[in-house]
Structure 1
Amino acid sequence: MRVFKFGGASVKDAAGIKNVYSVLQTAGYEDVLLVVSAMGKTTNALELVIKNYFDKSAELQSSVQEVKKYHNEILLDLFEDESNPVFTAVNMQFSDLEYFLAHNKSPNYNFVYDQIVSYGELISTTILSHFMSHMGIKTQWLDVRNFVKTNSNYRDAEVDWELTQKNISKNVKGKILNITQGFLGSDENNFTTTLGREGSDYTAAIFAYCLNAESVTIWKDVPGVMNADPRYFENASLLNQISYREAIELAFYGATVIHPKTLQPLQKKEIPLYVKSFINPLLPGTSVAKGADLEPYMPCFIVKRNQLLISLSSIDFSFIMEENISEIFALFHQFKLKVNLIQNSAISFSVCVEDKFGNFKDLNAILSKKFKVDFTENVTLYTIRHFDEKAAQTVEENKTVILKQVSRETMQIVTKES
């Protein structure tokens, strides 16, 4: 079996859905499992619904209606006959969403987030599955929550591999096009969980691992994995081949083409991962597999914006030792700040972090009792794998460099725009 993953950009409108059908005509669809994301910017639109649910109840209904309207327009573009059962199926999904909004009693933001945001994937796959059937392809729609079982760490759930393996091995049929949702799972109480933002790639890897798949293909609007984000760097080049090890390094430093957790299960079973273009499906794209670390060999640039640079120093000029550092990291873990760079000296300790849950203010109040805390907001972290002098100059040009760290293969530079 082959596993294909289509992201939000590939199914953002009726033309995108039709293009997925065309890609399947080219690439084949027998013994294929499709993992599909929410359509376009639906996740963002549902995040607004969540915000309004907690903060602006007067605007809640209009934000739900926006999501409904967007999907209804796609339905009307795809299906001429409004008596098609897809209309009823999608309406039922929205009824379930509205029932949850009306009856939920939990004040837990992360729990509510997962229950609401999941409707993006459930609706997109419902529409896609009905369209494939409409076009004559026999499909099986799978509710991923019955397959991927997790703990109850809402918004960043961990997979129960043993249970997940059992569910997938027993219930996924071959010789048919299977369609399921990315990003989602469920806990032991059958409440919806999510695997972290961009978790659809990870879902594809979970299914591939459990099915001993032949390959995973991530279909994107780019020709493959580039050595840099074309939005920030001119003349970005296509990488033809990346080893698992190098891809894990790139993902660890924040390359957004491949989700960090996606690669480990694939590497364990040596399942190749292809990143290909849904615009030009016949192009070879990039393969992530055993073999050369990087082909062609060149510097690779990773950009992480909206970072927070925190510098801690001891109030009495004493050394910052192991016990201090372990205490600091325990607090980072507690407040869910992701550390992307570490630099320390005898009496100071600097980290570049991502505060995606907005917890730094509370953390700072605790740190300030024991340390002198300096911080700079909205810095950019550049990571250059296989750097050379020219690559460093490209990054540093017209910027103020606040911190630089160099190891054998990797250079990291924290900057503020000049």
Structure 2
Amino acid sequence: MRVFKFGGASVKDAKGVKNLISVLEQVGHDNTLIVVSAMGKMTNALELVIGHYFDNKKELQSTIQEVVKYHNQIALELFENENHPVFKAISGLIEELKSFLNTNKSPDYNFVYDQVIGYGELLSTTIVSQYLSFQGINNNWLDVRQLIKTDDYYRNAKVNWQSTQHLITKTIDNKKLNITQGFIASDKNNFTTTLGREGSDYTAAILAYCLNAESVTIWKDVPGVLNADPRYFENAQLLHSISYTEAIELAFYGASVIHPKTLQPLQRKEIPLYVKSFLNPNAAGTVVNKTQGIKPEVPCYIVKQNQVLVSLSTLDFSYIVEDNLSDIFNLLSKYKMKVDVIQNSAISFSVCFENNYDNLEPLLLHLKAKFKVTCNDNVSLYTIRHYSQKSIKDLEKDKTVLLKQMFQETLQIVTK
């Protein structure tokens, strides 16, 4: 069985959905499971719904109506018939969403986020599934929340592999074309959970692992994995092949094409991952498999923006040793900071992290009780994998370097 994942950019409009059908017709769709993300920027639109639910109830209905309008417009362009059952299905999902918002009693933002945000995927897969049927392609729509079970760590849930394996094996018919959602799952109480932003790639890997799939293909609007994000770097090059180890390194440092958690289950069963263009489906793209290094061997550039750099030193100029480090990391964990770089000397410690949960102020208050604290927010973290002196010089040009760390294969620079 093959697993295909189509991201939001591939189904952002009616033309994209029609192109998805074209891709399937060109590469085949027997024994295939399709994982589909929310359409276009719908995740952002639903985040606005969540924001208004908590802070601006007057605007809530209008933002929900924008979600309805967006999906109905795509459906109308696809089916050209306002009486097609897809419109009733869209309406039913929206009523579910409204019902939750009207009856919810939980003040927990993260819980509410997960109950709302997944409607983007539920709507997109409903439209795509019905359009496949409309085009004569029989398919089986699956609710991934009945397949992937997790803990209740909302917005970044961890998979219960044993339950997930059992449910997937029992439910999925390998002989059919199946379609399901990325990003979402459910906990033991059947509340929706999410696997972290961009978690649809991870969904594809979970399903592939449990199905012993032949391969996973991620369909993107780029020709494959590039050595740099073309939005930030000029002359990006296509990487033809990447080893699992190298790809995990790149993903860990923030390469945007592959989700960091996606590769580990695939590596365990040596399932190859292809990254291909949905605009040119017959092109080779990039393969991640059991090989060595990267081909061609070129520096790989990664940038993470909107980072926070915090530098600490002890108030009495004593050494920063095990007890201090333990306190620091406990606080970083408590406030859910995703650490990207650490650097320490005898009396100082610096850490660069992502403030995804908006907990910076309470963290700094805690740290200031014991340390002298310097904080730089909105900094950028650049990573060069397989750096050269020229690549370092080019990157540092016209930038203020706040922190620099160099290893055998990897260079990291924090800049303002």
Same structural fold, with TM-score higher than 0.5 when normalized by the shorter chain:
yes
Q: CA deviation at 1:153?
A: 0.5
Work out whether 1:247 is the aligned partner of 2:247.
yes
Work out whether 1:99 is the aligned partner of 2:99.
yes
Task: Report the more deviating stretch, 390-399 or 313-322.
Answer: 390-399
Partner of 2:347: 347
Partner of 2:274: 274
Partner of 1:79: 79
Q: What is the distance in 1 between the residues matched to 2:206 and 2:132? A: 24
Q: CA deviation at 1:81?
A: 1.8
Partner of 2:309: 309
AA at the equivalent of 1:256: S
Partner of 2:374: 374
Partner of 1:184: 184
Partner of 2:223: 223
AA at the equivalent of 1:409: E
Work out whether 1:162 is the aligned partner of 2:174.
no
Partner of 1:114: 114
Q: What is the distance in 1 between the residues matched to 2:120 and 2:104? A: 19
Q: CA deviation at 1:256?
A: 1.0
1:325-383 Cα deviation digits (max 9, x unpaired) = 11101110110111111110100000111101110101111110000010111111100
Q: What is the distance in 2 between the residues matched to 1:310 and 1:174? A: 50
Partner of 1:37: 37
Partner of 1:402: 402
Q: What is the distance in 2 between the residues matched to 1:74 and 1:333? A: 42
Q: What is the distance in 2 between the residues matched to 1:338 and 1:74? A: 37
Q: What is the distance in 2 between the residues matched to 1:367 and 1:206? A: 38
SS in structure 1 at match of 2:400: strand
AA at the equivalent of 1:361: E
Q: What is the distance in 2 between the residues matched to 1:119 and 1:406? A: 43
Percent identity of equivalent pairs: 64
Partner of 1:69: 69
Q: TM-score, normalised by structure 2?
A: 0.99
Partner of 1:256: 256
Q: Which runs of 5+ in 2 are unaligned?
A: none
Q: What is the distance in 1 between the residues matched to 2:410 and 2:284? A: 28
Q: What is the distance in 1 between the residues matched to 2:261 and 2:415? A: 27
Q: CA deviation at 1:84?
A: 1.4
Partner of 1:27: 27
Q: What is the distance in 2 between the residues matched to 1:208 and 1:411? A: 33
Q: What is the distance in 2 between the residues matched to 1:341 and 1:255? A: 15
Work out whether 1:5 is the aligned partner of 2:5.
yes
Q: Which runs of 5+ in 1 are unaligned?
A: none
Q: What is the distance in 2 between the residues matched to 1:367 and 1:342? A: 16
Task: Report the more deviating stretch, 323-332 or 190-199.
Answer: 323-332
Partner of 2:133: 133
Partner of 2:360: 360
1:74-107 Cα deviation digits (max 9, x unpaired) = 0110012222111111110001001111111111
Q: CA deviation at 1:175?
A: 2.2
Q: CA deviation at 1:322?
A: 1.1
State the 4+ residue runs in structure 1 displaced beyond 6 angstroms: none
Q: What is the distance in 2 between the residues matched to 1:95 and 1:214? A: 39
Q: What is the distance in 2 between the residues matched to 1:146 and 1:229? A: 35
Q: CA deviation at 1:176?
A: 1.7
Q: What is the distance in 2 between the residues matched to 1:352 and 1:177? A: 44
Q: What is the distance in 1 between the residues matched to 2:109 and 2:332? A: 20
Partner of 2:292: 292
Q: What is the distance in 2 between the residues matched to 1:174 and 1:367? A: 53
How many residues align structurally? Answer: 416
Q: How does 1:202-213 map to 2 (within 5 A)?
A: 202-213=202-213
Q: What is the distance in 1 between the residues matched to 2:111 and 2:166? A: 26
Partner of 2:388: 388
Q: What is the distance in 2 between the residues matched to 1:249 and 1:78? A: 41
Q: CA deviation at 1:293?
A: 1.0
Q: What is the distance in 2 between the residues matched to 1:118 and 1:230? A: 29
Q: What is the distance in 2 between the residues matched to 1:92 and 1:25? A: 30
Q: What is the distance in 1 between the residues matched to 2:235 and 2:266? A: 30
1:157-195 Cα deviation digits (max 9, x unpaired) = 000000000000111012221000000000010000000
1:110-130 Cα deviation digits (max 9, x unpaired) = 000000001000000000000
Q: CA deviation at 1:292?
A: 2.3
Q: What is the distance in 2 between the residues matched to 1:4 and 1:36? A: 8
Partner of 1:55: 55
Q: What is the distance in 2 between the residues matched to 1:89 and 1:262? A: 31
Q: What is the distance in 1 between the residues matched to 2:177 and 2:11? A: 17
Partner of 2:142: 142
Q: What is the distance in 2 between the residues matched to 1:250 and 1:89? A: 40
AA at the equivalent of 2:87: F
Query: RMSD of the TM alignment (CA)?
Result: 0.6
Task: Report the more deviating stretch, 323-332 or 47-56.
Answer: 323-332
AA at the equivalent of 2:228: A
